[in-house]
Structures are given as structure tokens and as C-alpha cells.
Structure 1
Amino acid sequence: MEALSQVLTTLKTVTILCINLLLLKVTAAIQSLIRIFSGQRVFTTTQFLSYLEQMNPGVRYTKLLMKLQETPPELCAVCLSEFAVDEIVRDLKCKHVFHKDCLDKWLLQCRSTCPLCRTKLLPDEVVAGYRRLKDDQMGYDRSNEEIVFLVSHGNGFSSF
């Protein structure tokens, strides 16, 4: 009888957790629909990087590129590593050069400017759309953890 009581209590806790997670997913879906119908655009990471590539395409670092620079850069200002011939870099309109991957990581941290001179690299609409996606992801993860904590430590519930 004691074992049956424990099984039922555990089943009750698992059911409540599943219902809460389902409610979180439904809430996230409703928020997405509201954003779609309100005209707020959300950019995925792939769309964000694709737009960045259109605006500032990656090029091979060559001796010609070094000669075109007024003061040739010796280091990438993000990772502080030297440039090597044939590496893929982004030569920005502000005349600063960075490794492609370094600049992409910089911009994916919701920064929209050149790391050195703070010249705007992407339109505000694109950055805002990407930030909305990042905020939604962080909010969803945080809510998930809070629900699990509250349910597992709530009154009358046994922890696993």
C-alpha cells in the first residue's frame, strides 16, 4: 500500500510538470503569433548571419588587401591574433578588418557596431529582431527552470 502511494505521488508530480511544460510551450507559441500579427519581425541566427554576409561579405586576406589599408592591421582586435594570408576576414566600410568568425561572434552577442570605432554595421531593425529572439529564448529557459524548481520544492510534492 505504501509503494502504491509513492507511485501515485510521483505520477502526480510528473503530470504537473508535464502540464506546466505544455503551458510554457503554448505561451511561447501565443507570443510568437502575437509578434507575427503585430508586425514585429524576429531574425533567427542564420538569418542574422546571412544578412551580415550580404552587408559585409567575407574576403580572403591577401597582400593586396594589406596594401589597400592606410595602416595595415597586424592583429584582429577581437581575438588579438595576427592575420594570415588567405584567412577569411571582414573588411568593414569603416576600414577596420577582423577575422570573419571573430566579428560574427562579436555581433551575435547583440552588438551591432564595429568593435573599434563603434560605427553601426547593421540596421536597427535587424538587430532588434535578433535581440527579440535571444530575449525570448532566455526568458523561456529561465521560466522553465523556475517552474521545475517551484514544482519540485512546492508544498505536498515529493522531489525526485
Structure 2
Amino acid sequence: MASLSQILGQIYTMAMLFFSVLLLELAILIHGAAHATAHRSITTDQFLKIVDKKAPSGRYSAAGNSLGFPAAECSVCLSPFEEGDEVRKLKCKHTFHKGCVDTWLQQDAATCPLCRRPVLPVDVVVKHRNHRLREHYDGGEEEIMIMLYALHGNFLRRFS
């Protein structure tokens, strides 16, 4: 009976080792796939260049303003436009300080802060969001090591 118990213990040990290695390989595969999709993301600089193409910025001029800015203040920061401020007029005709609206557009959906009309195509927004998420969450090898340690620790505790 003791030999049967030893054989079952060895089978259990081999199975746990097999599944640990399988989980490690799966984690490495997922990590590699995440980096393979990196070319599908848009950096913040690329994102802002696309915004500039869709809604070019200009300088505010109270007298004889050639871009036709009807607003007297930025609806994001609520500060009045001053002579020479860099402003951005969106296709919906709403005008904001360039820095204010650029920060707003990068946050989530790239819509006008007032009317919520899309400023950029959805695919551009998703690619930029993927880039931002990858910037904030790229644990990589550290996470794999933590997972292995957790598996190894749990595995050894079963035999203590």
C-alpha cells in the first residue's frame, strides 16, 4: 500500500509540474502576442498629429480673426481667450485653447467637450487607447516570475 501511495504522489508531482510549465508557456505566449500587436497602436505624438490634420489650430485674434472663432472663452478651462492664444476650432464649430482640448481628446473618446461629436474616427481612438494601456500596464517578465513563485510556493506547501 505504501508503494501505491508513493506512485500516486509521484504522478501528482509530475502532473503539477506539467501544468506549471503549461501555464508558464501560456503566459509567455500571451505576453508575446501583446507585444506583437504593438504596431497596431498609435503613440500620443501620432495621435496629436492626426488631431492637427482633422482640426488645425490657429492664433486667437479678437479683431479681424480669420478663422472665425465665435467664442470668447474656452469651455474646458473657462478662461477667456486672449490675443495670440493658440486655439483649436473643431468641425462642430466649438473653439477651445489648443492645450485644453488636446488633453481632453486624449482622455477617452476624442469627442467635442460640449456637443460630444466625434473628432476622430473610432479606430484611431482605439489604437491610441491601446497604446496608453500598454504604457501603464507592461509588467512582462516580472508578472511571469511572480506567477511562477506563487505556483511553486503553493506546490511546495502541499508536501509540507
TM over 0.5: yes
Equivalent in the alignment of 1:111: 109
Provide the TM-score with structure 1 as the length reference: 0.63
Q: Which gives a bigger RCO, structure 1 or 2 (Cα 8 Å, sep 6+)?
A: 1
Equivalent in the alignment of 1:83: 81
Equivalent in the alignment of 1:94: 92
SS at match of 1:90: strand
Q: How many residues align?
A: 126
Deviation by residue 1:81-123 (Cα, 9 ceiling, x = unmatched): 1101111100111111000010111011123100001111001
Counterpart residue type for residue 135 of structure 1 = L
Deviation by residue 1:22-72 (Cα, 9 ceiling, x = unmatched): xx9996554121x26xxx721011110111111111101112338934xx3
- Give the Cα–Cα distance (whole angstroms) in 1 for the partners of residues 118 and 55 of structure 2: 12
Residue 139 (structure 1) shift: 2.7
Larger Rg: 2
SS at match of 2:129: helix
- Give the Cα–Cα distance (whole angstroms) in 2 for the partners of residues 117 and 65 of structure 1: 23
Provide the TM-score with structure 2 as the length reference: 0.63
Q: Is the 8 A contact 1:66 1:73 kept in 2?
A: no
Counterpart residue type for residue 91 of structure 2 = K
Q: Where does structure 2 lack aligned partners over 5 or more consecutive residues?
A: 1-26, 154-160
Seq. identity, %? 36
SS at match of 1:59: strand
